[in-house]
């Protein structure tokens, strides 16, 4: 069950990553470049693939209302997709936090 949840979260991050393009507006948030954000998403995917959930709180912060990913979605025209993705993230976060 836990490994399935981790795989689902990796898949979810894999859906977010291509949304952060080289042309993404990075005005809002703490990342200066799209490469930095993509790099962190890659790092989190690697950690999760190793069974390391120490990044869950950092991911929760990225997905928090008015945080980096929501601002990215609003600035770069993928708000509807973000809402569906963030809803899935919230569910996975709750389930993984219980372990």
The model's pLDDT over 26-65, given as tens digits with 9 standing for 90+, comes to 877 789 999 999 999 999 999 999 999 999 999 999 999 9
Contacts of 34-41 spanning 24+ positions with Cβ under 8 A: 37/68, 37/72, 41/13, 41/16, 41/17
Q: What is the rounded distance in angstroms from the CA atom of residue 77 to the CA atom of residue 20?
A: 11
Helix (H) or strand (E) holding 58: helix 56-63
Measured distance CA(41)–CA(70) in Å, rounded: 15
pLDDT one-digit tens code per residue, 55-93: 999 999 999 998 999 999 999 999 999 999 999 999 999
What global pTM score does this model have?
0.93
């Amino acid at each position: 069950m836990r490994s399935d949840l981790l795989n689902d979260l990796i898949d979810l991050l894999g859906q977010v990553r291509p949304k952060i393009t080289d042309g993404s507006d990075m005005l809002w948030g703490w990342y200066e470049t799209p490469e930095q954000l993509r790099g962190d998403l890659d790092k989190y995917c690697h950690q999760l693939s190793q069974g390391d959930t120490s990044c869950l709180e950092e991911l929760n912060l990225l997905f928090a209302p008015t945080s980096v990913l929501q601002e990215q979605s609003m600035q770069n025209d993928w708000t509807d997709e973000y809402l569906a993705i963030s809803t899935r993230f919230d569910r996975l976060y709750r389930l993984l936090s219980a372990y």
